[in-house]
Amino acid sequence: MTESNTLKIVLTEPQSIEDLHIPQNIVIDLIFRLLHNEGNVALSRFTEVLKIPKAMIDDILLWMQKEHLVEVSKASVELGRLSNVYTLTDAGEGRAQSALERSQYVGPVPVSIPDYFIGIEFQTTKQHDISIEQVKNSIGNLVLPSDFHRQIGPAVNLGASLFLYGPPGNGKTTIALSISKLIAGIDPIWIPYALCAGGQIIQIHDRLVHKASSSEQYRSPKLGRIDQRWTLVERPAVATGGELKMEALDLRFDPVAKFYEAPLQLKANGGLFLIDDFGRQQVSTRDLLNRWIVPLESKIDYLRLLTGQTIIVPFRHMTIFSTNLNPRDLVDDAFLRRIQMKVFVAPPNEKLFYQIFVLEARQRGLQFDKDTFLYLLQKWYREPNRKLQAVHARDLINIVSAICKYDGVPLHLTSELLDDAARIYFID
């Protein structure tokens, strides 16, 4: 079965309320809440918000009319029922209040968990086909060993978990973010706006994470009429660091709005999830590892509703752990086995450090000669036996720039200015 046929099965526009695969009362409650919030609602507005076909909404509104829950506040004889504008009756207002007590969510009709599971699996089981040139270009702004791309390229194509480790200040985070941009540019992915589980609504679409895709090739006629509850986005990238708490990995229930927000890993499905500064999170490393060890192995995750019901969702993203701590002090062999690829991001040698310094200087429009660099290298690195870090070049030049601005002189680079910058920057 071709990819387009597979997507067609998942994304076909529903023709009846049964095709939604969720309880009908979820849709009826959404209609009540939208009418309560906006007063008078046209059929076109219902379809715009709920993302389901007009005919389906019209059938529900016709039933609600017969039950004296809604009435037509405006109509056009020429255009028929499809031009009607609806408002709540007194009885309907009472039902709307009940719907608001259950939840205040107003938005696209949610997709069932089984449909979401199938949709994500269909779009993530195929390995990526990223070329060497694409990987090289993605990290082309970094000065790295010439064969470094061979360490991360296979991991990206495989979609495997990746462990980046090494001393601070040598580009691990930048490498991870470059990978995320690479993945985002591969091909877009269809995701639902919201999910339905146990009669509860889980909002999964996040404007900060899910960027609308402009790719038209994935909206081809082969897919037919698309279920508008799904939207085409760039492959998502979620990044978190030392601020990460365990609550962010679980369903978060808003006690006022009374619906759930998806955890970070669910929002990252189909893309990348970066845990930066691994080992420095507000949650203990042991608790974090225990939370992730099963999903990394099985590619599924278990989430729990407040009712106690457990739901099973796909865990389908490239997971990158980045740390400047010793991995052996953080994780055991059982966890490392589940992270298939580990890449050491080493400090630059003197040759690479020179290339980094030249690159940083050129970006600032600075004239830079090798003798000045050798002076810096000898006095501030070789003599004190200080380790090189890639970030030092950028930081020292930034300080030189600040000094020149303070002195009111044109930006330039001399051994004296590097001495001034180094005295400020390094702690001896």
Residue 180 has a pLDDT of 84
115 pLDDT above the threshold of 50: yes
Extents of the domains making up the chain: 23-109, 113-344, 350-425
Residue 152 has a pLDDT of 85
pLDDT band for position 347 (50/70/90)? very high
**CATH architecture assignment, domain 113-344:** 3-Layer(aba) Sandwich (3.40)
Query: pTM score, two decimals?
Result: 0.86
Read off the pLDDT of residues 289-311 as tens digits, 9 standing for 90 and up.
788 888 888 899 999 999 999 99
Residue 80 has a pLDDT of 67
Q: Which residue has the higher pLDDT, 201 or 279?
A: 201
**Separation between Cα atoms, residue 268 and residue 236, nearest integer Å:** 6
Residue 324 has a pLDDT of 86
**Separation between Cα atoms, residue 179 and residue 177, nearest integer Å:** 5
Residue 187 has a pLDDT of 84
Q: How far apart are the first and last CA of the chain?
A: 65
Do 350 and 356 meet the contact criterion of CB atoms below 8 Å apart? no
Residue 213 has a pLDDT of 86
Domain 23-109 matching CATH 1.10.10.10: the answer reads yes
Residue 215 has a pLDDT of 65
Q: Residues of 334-373 as b/e, b for ≥16 C-beta within 10 angstroms? A: ebeebbebebebebbeeebbbebbbebbeeeebebeeebb
pLDDT, average across residues 268-277 = 90
3 pLDDT above the threshold of 70: no
Residue 1 has a pLDDT of 44
Q: What is the dihedral of CA 383, 387, 391, 394, to 10 degrees?
A: 10
Question: Tokens in use for 159?
Answer: 């979609």
Read off the pLDDT of residues 142-177 as tens digits, 9 standing for 90 and up.
888 888 888 888 888 887 788 888 888 888 888 888
CATH number assigned to the domain with residue range 350-425, chosen from the 4 options 2.40.50, 1.10.3470, 1.10.8, 3.30.70:
1.10.8
Q: Say whether 350-425 and 23-109 share the same fold.
A: no
Read off the pLDDT of residues 323-339 as tens digits, 9 standing for 90 and up.
888 877 777 777 777 77
pLDDT band for position 423 (50/70/90)? very high
pLDDT band for position 178 (50/70/90)? confident
